[in-house]
Structure 1
Amino acid sequence: MRKNYYRKLAFMGMLLIVLLAFQKYTSTEKEDFPELKFIAENSVPLTLIDFDPNDLDSKQWKNLGFSEKQVLTILNYKKIIGGQFTSKEQLKKCYAISAEKFTELESFIMLPETGKDRHFEKFKTNERKVITISEKFNPDKLSASEWMEMGFSEKQAEAILKYRNYLGGSFVSREKFRECFIISPENYSKLEPYLLLPAKAPDNFKKSGNQYAIKSQIQYHSFDPNTLDPDGWKALGFSEKQASTIVNYRDRNLRGSFKSLEDIKKCFVISPEKFQELSPYIKLNTDTGQKQETDFSKTDLNAITFKQLLEFGLDEKSAGSIIGFRKKLGGFVNKQQIMDTYNIDKDIVQKLISICQLNTSNVPKYTLTDAPEEWLKNHPYFKYSADKIIFYRISNSEDAKIWKLLKLKPEYEARMRLYIK
């Protein structure tokens, strides 16, 4: 009996140990796993300009600081989502791009914040749009708007024109026209009977494709690239997006002026063919003797430009961070916000804010009940509580009740109230 008693006692002890171990395993107080971060192989500071991630090849992604494996992952992700990034939100989901890297690039990415932008919805659904042709035509003579009237999207029309320029200004033959990747086999079969082009390209086409180039319809005249605004570049045949990129490249990367023809040639949105076309008319004025100095005591921190921040002594990274953060906020409400900006030279910025003025009259402010949903979801201070605010205000018409329901930390609420009426 004593032997059986000890056996039962040992069994109860083991059972108790198992129960305690199971309770610890299922406890809600689980240890957090360490956060995983991608470490870029290239730690050299980057000089960034505005870019469309849909236009980048593997080499250009590497130039942004990504490793070969990361680039491969990004390009594969692009294929999986349909071959086109439609928003910053979508690009951010690519796990090869760390949160820190995305923050560094975000202000330079030429995409809408979310996929709800109408231009991109149109592009995503354009394959179902009906192509209509009423008469025979020469594709060499169609403009982007005429391709769009036919049923192609704006982005497809631009791609067709780029391909035509790549061939030297003419499709030359139906054979070459068919090779345009943006035109699907189904659409080509509809277009083919109406094309006023020979069936095949001449044998010597690859060797002398430029002989088929069509003379530009733009009436060029002498110009100084350092004085042109976006409208001036558009008048030279560039799209609105390209014109903005050129001006940003000049003002941000080159600190306000092209110093040589080589500087212009390096701008990636100016093709070698376009540069060749423009170069005889470029009258580059590099004289900086007439440069006006800014009176910073009269300068508004909510209106100060990237160029003026560089003039004050900030580097491009600091200047870009301040401009980017101000844009997301809709404007600074107090000077401490500028000091709290990431990636800045705090000593120089402290001197800057002690000299400059801050006008907050144009900063948008709302109540919690009337704030636009898009504003709530994009504002750095509100976006993490946006869904709750939108939900709570359905049944609550007073801000005071919504604030109570949000149960925010005091520092978060104080920050948000800066932008509340």
Structure 2
Amino acid sequence: MMRKSYYQKLACIVTLLIVLLIFQKYTGREKENFPEAKFVMASPAHTDLYNFDPNQLDRTQWLKFGFSEKQISIILKYREILGGKFTSKEQLKKCYAISVEKFNELNPYIQLPEASKELISGKAGNGEKNTLSIPGKFNPDQLSVKDWLKMGFSEKQTEAILKYRNYLGGSFISKEKFKECFIISAEHYSQLEPYLLLPAKTPESSKRGFNNTSIKIAYQPFDPNRLNAEEWQALGFSEKQARTIVNYRDKNLKGSFKTPDDLQKCFVISAEKFRELKPYIRIQEKQKQEKTDFSKADLNTITFRQLLEFGLDERSAGSIIGFRRKLGGFVNKQQILDTYNIDKEIVQKLVSTALLETSNVPKYSLADAPEEWLKNHPYFKYSADKIIFYRITYPDDKKIWKFLKLKPEYEQKMRLYIK
């Protein structure tokens, strides 16, 4: 009996071994037919790419990403049209100086949301498609705020459309230019395109510049190194163009045009406009400039050039001027020392030497501060919506401060700009 049980167990083991051998042979054959896996690592086109915010990049940094000077000028001009800031990747992608391939290469590193709230114009609040109400054929140059709103655009979108039209000199010129308006989505453009009373393409005469005015200007000889923004406007440039020319002279050329050709290189001056101006350009030889008496200089009016003269580099000077503009003016000297990207040692010497005149710095109460000021001021913008909400019911500063429940250090900064 025991022997029989023994043989049964032995037979069981032999059967199991045979099954295992067959299985191994079968799976081995499959392995022979299975190709060897190879893992290929894609090498990026630029090994020096890094996460970046396109709103923070200057001309030099765009160059490092492989863009030409001309492309960079277009990108910076486009950013200026948008109000000085890209709010989404979708906006950046619409800049025609950035090819699809280049955008795809940079896309993973761009520190912006995919689409901004203003750009999600193809959707209604309930998630349904927002169809425009188009009355018939129309010229977008002739539409008022009311007309755009009636068509189905929001107030913010309408404001952006009119701002862009003004930037172009009061006319969209062509369907091509109209399509470039960042706030108009592809869906909305496809709805509007058949009704637009505009030529399909931009005329060659309009492509090189942004001055489409037909007003005859009586030119007089002038030195471009002595003109301020208002004087450039008197020569027929828009406010934005005038600021760009002054900026280009003071920052890019360190304060002066050396030859008329330097003026021609400024991208907002078309070839036609330059030909008009050239006979009147008189660049005087730079005499030894009077040194600034920094003990009498006001830190709220000191210029970029004077900051360079004091010894600051362009980055520090630009940061101080930029922060001052956002604040509407400095209220105390510590704010200047707290500015980002500055040489603190040199700035400390400057604030110890110069004056600070604060009488022209705008100040408001929380109850009557303009909404735009609240939303754009560095110290108020994060609390702006709450302030606007609370003051509707409680137009009293004491109560609003109480409801805001701010950290003491934040409240202290805000109170610098309160009457």
Normalised to the residue count of structure 1, the TM-score between the two structures is: 0.55
Alignment correspondent of 1:287: 286
Counterpart residue number, 1:269: 268
Q: What residue number does 1:224 align with?
A: 223
How far did 1:415 drift?
1.4
2:387 matches 1:371: no
Distance 1:267 1:415 in 2: 39
Match of 1:412 in 2: 410
Alignment deviations for residues 8-42 of structure 1 (CA, whole Å, 9 cap, x no partner)? xxxxxxxxxxxxxxxxxxxxxxxxxxxxx72489x
Deviation of 1:401 (Å): 2.6
Compare 399-408 and 264-273 and name the one that shifted more.
399-408
Q: Is the contact made by 1:388 and 1:406 (CA closer than 8 Å) also made in structure 2?
A: yes
Q: Give the aligned partner of residue 357 of structure 1.
A: 355
Cα distance per residue 1:238-257 (max 9 Å; x no partner): 33332222122112222221
Deviations 1:255-301 (A, max 9, x none): 22111223212111112233233323322113232x22211111111
8 Å Cα contact 1:367-1:399 kept in structure 2: yes
In structure 2, stretches of 5+ residues that fail to align are 1-49, 62-66, 93-106, 113-117, 120-133, 144-163, 176-191, 206-213
Render the CA deviation track for 1:136-163: whole Å, top value 9, x for unaligned: xxxxxxxxxxxxxxxx964565567899
2:59 to 31, 46, 49: 46
**1:351/1:217 CA distance change after superposition, 3 Å:** same
- C-alpha distance in 2 between matches for 1:365 and 1:44: 31
User: Matched residues in 2 for 1:216 and 1:88: separation?
Assistant: 29
1:256 aligned partner, one-letter code: G
Cα distance in 2 for partners of 1:40, 1:93 equals 10
| Alignment root-mean-square deviation, CA | 4.5
| 1:92 aligns to 2:79 (yes or no) | no
Deviation at 1:62, TM superposition (A): 5.3
- How many angstroms apart in 2 are the aligned matches of 1:284 and 1:249? 16
Matches within 5 A, 1:156-305: 188=197, 217-289=216-288, 291-305=289-303
338-347 or 355-364: bigger deviation: 355-364
SS in 2 for 1:405: helix
- The answer to whether the 8 Å contact 2:140/2:172 transfers is no
CA distance in 1, matches of 2:361, 2:299: 12
Q: 1:301 to 1:47 in 2, by over 3 A?
A: farther
Would you identify which runs of 4 or more consecutive aligned residues in structure 1 move more than 6 Å?
95-98, 100-103, 160-163
The one-letter code of the counterpart of 1:315 is: D
Cα offset for 1:128? 5.4
48, 60, 63: which one aligns with 2:72: 63
1:393–1:218 CA distance, 2 compared to 1 (3 A): closer
Residue 136 of structure 1 corresponds to none
Q: CA deviation at 1:381?
A: 0.7
Q: Which structure has the bigger radius of gyration?
A: 2
Query: Given residue 72 of structure 2, which amino acid in structure 1 is its aligned partner?
Result: N
Gaps of at least 5 residues in structure 1 are: 1-36, 49-57, 79-83, 104-113, 116-124, 132-151, 164-182, 192-204, 207-214
Task: Name the residue aligned to 1:380.
Answer: 378
CA distance in 1, matches of 2:361, 2:370: 15
What is the CA–CA distance in structure 2 between the aligned matches of 1:392 and 1:401, rounded to whole Å? Answer: 9
> How has the CA–CA distance of structure 1 residues 286 and 361 changed in structure 2, closer, same or farther, with 3 Å as cutoff?
same
TM-score w.r.t. length of structure 2: 0.55
In structure 2, distance between residues paired with 1:162 and 1:225: 33
In structure 2, distance between residues paired with 1:40 and 1:404: 35
| % identity of equivalent residues | 55
- Partners of 2:141 and 2:170 within 8 A in 1: no
- CA spacing shift, 1:101–1:321, aligned 2, 3 Å: farther
Match of 2:306 in 1: 308
Amino acid at match of 2:302: I
| Residues 47 and 253 in structure 1, CA contact (< 8 A), matched pair in contact too | no
CA distance in 1, matches of 2:140, 2:276: 37
Distance 1:161 1:276, change over 3 A: farther
